[in-house]
Amino acid sequence: MPERTLVSPQDIQRALVRVAHEIVERNRGASDIVLVGMQTRGVPLANRLAATIQGLEGITVPVGSLDISLYRDDLSSLSLKPTVRRTDIPVDIAEKQVVLVDDVFYTGRSIRAAMDALIDLGRPQSIQLAVLIDRGHRELPIRADYVGKNIPTSKNEEIKVYVKEVDGEDKVTIIAPGKEVTDEND
């Protein structure tokens, strides 16, 4: 199946810089923000946002990681369990604005699980959502506050985000299965 690059490394970087600006603007500064990256690729993205914000405001925004494996709603149907990675949030999130950071926003189920996890961890003042790619097809009433790029897709396509810290390069690709050819002999 052909894999096509949709977003180049430079465009990814530009989108992240813009999102960082938007976060600072919306929250009127960066003093009580906590960035929480969703395992796995959300974590390096959150780190990059923190670096940009550091450059803008001179403030070190704490970055945490969140693994939502234990909050999935589909565990009963999986025979192979996802590896549970570290959840590590270095500060108390009470009274803070938590910004969840994820690479692809699709049905919204991951974010629902993430919100459950955050609420188990403390009582943030607000939870906001920053995503690199929004591909549509929401199944739950959840929206993103900050979107890097909108990419409309159909359900049988797959969006793959490559992040340098995890995959060795930055890019976003789409994998679209070709249309099936009908066989006259059927």
Partner 1 sequence: MKTIEPGAGIATPDTFPPPPIAVWQHRHILDLDDFTREEIELVLDTANAMSEVLTREVRKVPTLRGKTVVTMFYEPSTRTRASFELAAKNLSADTVSLDASKSSVTKGESLIDSLRTIQALGADFIVMRHSQSGAPYLATQHVNCSIINAGDGWHAHPSQALLDIYTIRRHSGKLDNLKVAIVGDIMHSRVARSNIWGMSTMGARIVLCAPNTLLPRYMENFLAKCQLPHISIETDIEPALEDADVVMPLRLQMERQQSGLLPSLREYIQLYQLTTERLSLARQNVLVMHPGPINEGIEISPEVAHGAQSVIEEQVSNGVAIRMALLYLIAGGKNK
Q: Which residues of this chain interact with partner 1, rule CB under 8 A?
A: 39-40, 67-72, 74-88, 106-107, 109-110, 116-117, 120-122, 139, 154-156, 158, 177, 180, 182-184, 186
Of 181, 159, 158, 154, give the one whose Cα is nearest residue 172. 159
Nearer to partner 1, 22 or 157 (CB): 157
Nearer to partner 1, 61 or 104 (CB): 104
Nearer to partner 1, 57 or 116 (CB): 116
Distance of closest approach, residue 65 Cβ to partner 1, in angstroms: 10
Distance of closest approach, residue 59 Cβ to partner 1, in angstroms: 27
Q: Three-class SS of residue 147?
A: strand
| C-alpha to C-alpha distance for 108 and 104, rounded to whole angstroms | 10
Nearer to partner 1, 14 or 112 (CB): 112
Which residues are CB-contacts of 122 (< 8 A; sequence separation ≥ 6)?
A: 92, 93, 94
Contact (CB, 8 A) for 129 and 102:
yes
Q: Give burial (CB, 10 Å; 0-12/13-18/19+) of 170.
A: buried
Distance of closest approach, residue 176 Cβ to partner 1, in angstroms: 11
